[in-house]
Structure 1
C-alpha cells in the first residue's frame, strides 16, 4: 500500500476483496486453522483500510468497500470460521464509517449471495445446490460477478458520495 501511494498518490478507493470459503468441520478447527482463515478473510481488510486512511484524509475523501457475504446470515453450513469473519466485516465497516466519516471517507460493505464464479462452479455448484439457490432467490437467475462489480463501481464513484455505514446485499432476494 505504501508503494502504491508513493507511485500513484493517495488511493481514493479501496476494495477489500480477498477471502476463502473452504468448508470445514467445526469440531476439527484448530487454533492454527482459525488464525489462518481469519487472516485470509478479515485481518487484511482492517490493515489495508488503516494503510490508506491517512492518504484519504489528506485529500478529504475516499471510499472503502469491504467484501463480506450473506453466508453468515443464512447461515451457510461447514463455514463457521468463514461466517465469523464475514460477520465481523460488517461490524468493522460500521466502526470505520464512524471513525473516518468526518474526513469525508465513506465505508460500506457488500454482501454477495451465491455468485456464479469459476470457483463456485468448480467446487460448490452442484445441481442440488443450484436448485436450492434458485428456489431461495426472488430473482430466478444465476448471479454473476458483473452483477457485484456494478455495485462496487457505484460505491467507488462519486455518485454514492452520501452513502456510508451500509451493508449492501446483492443476492437476488435470498435474504
Structure 2
C-alpha cells in the first residue's frame, strides 16, 4: 500500500544547488512547500507574500533545518510597482534569479451576478497580472546569465468546469496563453517557460474553507489515484521543471491532479 507520508525530498537535482529562486505567494500552502523544497535542494530562495507573520516563521524554520535562510518581503502583488521593486531588491541583494515561480493566487468564491468591475479588476490584479510583470522583471537577469526557467501556476478547476469563481477561472485559464505566448521569444534567450496546473490540493486553506463531505466524495469519484494531493506533489513538479533535467521542456502544461482532468 502506498505510504501516506509525503517526503518532499523524493529526488535530488544536482543542477539546482546554489541557484537563486524567486517565488510569489510563498508563505503558505503550495508556495510554502516550494520554498522548503527548493531550500532543501541547496537553493537560495527569495519569496514574497502579503502574510508577514507566516513568512517570517517559514524563513526561520527553513534556516533552523540547516538550509540557506530564505529572503522574504511582505508585498501586496496588486501593486505592480511594489511587486517589481521587491524582485529588483532581492536580485540586488542575492544576484539575478535562475528560476521564477509565479505562484501567488486567491480563489475566493464569488457569483456571476455579484461581480462588479472593481471586483473583477481586483481578481485579475491578484490572479493574472502579477505573473506577467514578474516575468518582465526577471527576464533581463536571466538574459545576462544565458538562460533560466519560469514556472507559472495554472489550475485544473476551470478545465473541470468548477463553478463559484468565474473571475479566478478566467485568470487561471489565461496562464497557458501567457506560457505559450512567450515561449518562442524567451526560448531565443535560453529561458524555458512552463505551466504547472494543480488539481484540488489539500492545503490548510482548502481544508478549512472549501472541503466538505460532498467534496471528499467528488475527489473519490473523479481522481484516478486514491491519495489526496498535497502541496509537496506540486513542489516536486516545480523542482523538475526548474532543473537541467527538464532542459528541453518549454511551452507545456504539466497537470498534477491525480488523474482527475
2-side partners of 1:158 and 1:8: how far apart?
21
* Structure whose residues are more often helix by fraction: 1
Could you list the runs of 5+ residues in structure 1 that have no partner in the other structure? none
Distance 1:26 1:164 in 2: 34
The Cα of 1:66 is off from its aligned counterpart by 0.4
In the other structure, the counterpart of 1:16 is 102
Of residues 107, 132, 137, the one that matches 2:193 is 107
Residue 115 of structure 1 deviates from its aligned partner by: 0.5
Displacement of 1:92 in angstroms is: 0.4
Distance 1:89 1:99 in 2: 16
Match of 2:173 among 87, 104, 123: 87
In the other structure, the counterpart of 2:25 is: none
Residue 251 of structure 2 corresponds to residue 165 of structure 1: yes
- 1:63 to 2:153 alignment: no
Any residues of structure 2 matched to 1:2-81 within 5 Å, and which? 2-81=88-167
Quote how far apart the aligned CAs of 1:8 are.
1.3
Alignment partner of 1:77: what SS? coil
**Equivalent residues in 2 for 1:121-160, closer than 5 Å:** 121-160=207-246
Q: Deviations over 1:3-42 (max 9, x none)?
A: 1111111100000001011110101100000000001001
Across the two proteins, how many residue pairs are aligned to each other?
175
Alpha-carbon distance in 2 for matches of 1:156, 1:166: 13
Higher relative contact order (CA 8 A, sep 6+): 1
In the other structure, the counterpart of 2:202 is 116
Query: Normalising by structure 2, what TM-score?
Result: 0.66
Query: 2-side partners of 1:74 and 1:95: how far apart?
Result: 23
Matched position secondary structure for 1:84:
helix
Structure 1 vs Structure 2 CA RMSD: 0.7
